[in-house]
Amino acid sequence: YVAQVTAGTMPNYVYLPLIFLVSGGIAFSTGTSWGTFAIMLPIAVPAAATLGLPLAPFVAATLSGGIFGDHCSPISDTTIISSMAAATDHIDHVRTQLPYALVGGAIATLCFGLLGATL
């Protein structure tokens, strides 16, 4: 449905970064990568099929976006456990890991854009 609505209005190079960023936003908001996969894979897989594009980059954008958002989320179980195991303040832990994660997320967004331009 999403691909049918947006087909012809968006260039192909926008889909992969958009899926990555939306997956990251959902995972950040919910604190779960697996929940994000359950929400986004049923959207991304049919989008790839409808657009006639390879499936693997769409799945990769969904999975990496979910992991990225989960890693950045202060309510993620892995972030909470990491700060507890290191015996550090939780918010300090989030603040120190966020710049590194955002650089990685920006690079991934650019790479997904470049990959989308070659499809």
- Tokens 């995972």 appear where? 27
What is the chain's pLDDT, residue by residue, as a tens digit (119 residues)? 777 787 778 888 999 999 999 999 999 999 999 999 999 999 999 999 988 999 999 999 999 999 999 999 999 999 999 999 999 999 999 999 999 999 999 999 999 999 999 98
Q: What's the confidence (pLDDT) of residue 70?
A: 96
Token pair listed for 103: 């650089």
Please give the radius of gyration of the chain, using alpha carbons only, rounded to the nearest integer.
Answer: 15
Token pair listed for 13: 């190079």
What pTM was estimated for this model as a whole? 0.92
Kind plus residue range of the DSSP H or E element containing 105: helix 90-118
* AA letter at 51: L
